[in-house]
Amino acid sequence: MTSLSILTLHGFLVFVGAELVFSLTPGPTVMLITAYGFKGGMRDAMAAVAGTQTGNTLWYVICVTGLGALVTASPMVFHAIRLLGAAYLVFLGMSALWKSRHTAIESLGPKLMGRPYIQALLTQMGNPKAILFFGALVPQFLDTHAPLLPQYVIMYAVTIIGEAIILTGYGVLAAMGGRSAGLASHAVWRERVSGLVMLSLGILAALYSA
């Protein structure tokens, strides 16, 4: 059993911490949720959260289906995928740290269509970084010598619960009129923290996968 396996306490805690930090970093759907919350209140914000979570679920199913096939068909290919995933996490970490050097915050929000659930779902499904993220993160915590389904369920539960807490928090802040406080004032430190976490996780994953 690998040191980062989700079936170990150490691996579980690392996965939970990584998921929470990643969820805190604003992306297209976070901007969408806060925009709906700021304009339409909690109802619209929660509808956008539900759409985002539906998109996450679909991407996750696509990801684990492909990973399960790789584990069965070619352990060597799966090992290569893990190394590529570790490299991608390092790249994301370095990109976030570089981005944190620029303090300018985008002031223009997304254009709202008036259907928060549908727009959030389409936004998340149209984001190729979602499948890349799941494809990079999930393999690092799999123990290929143990049943895969329970591991997928654990990681899915952590992801959905963590996302629900963070995204709902953004929605609440926006609905209360705190959009700028929720997104702009702490953007730099969020980028730095998430960058360090992704960079560290990528390096650890590469070492454990070697």
pLDDT per residue over 6-65, tens digit each?
999 988 998 998 888 778 776 788 888 888 888 888 899 999 999 999 999 998 988 888
Q: Average pLDDT in the 63-82 region?
A: 75
* Cβ neighbour number for residue 29 with a 10 Å cutoff: 26
User: In the prediction, which pLDDT does 2 show?
Assistant: 53
- 73-77, 129-133, 187-191: range with lowest mean pLDDT: 187-191
Contact residues for 203 (Cβ-Cβ < 8 A; gap 6+): 86, 90
| pTM reported for the whole predicted model | 0.77
Q: What Rg do the C-alpha atoms of the chain give, in angstroms?
A: 17
Distances (CA, A) of 120 to 96, 123, 167: 23, 5, 12
- Residue 130, amino acid: A
In this predicted model, which residue has the larger pLDDT, 186 or 106?
186
Q: Are 93 and 195 in contact (CB under 8 A)?
A: yes
Distances (CA, A) of 202 to 4, 93, 128: 12, 8, 19
**What's the mean pLDDT when you consider all of the chain?**
79
Q: Are 163 and 27 in contact (CB under 8 A)?
A: no
Q: Are 6 and 141 in contact (CB under 8 A)?
A: yes
Q: Are 169 and 58 in contact (CB under 8 A)?
A: no
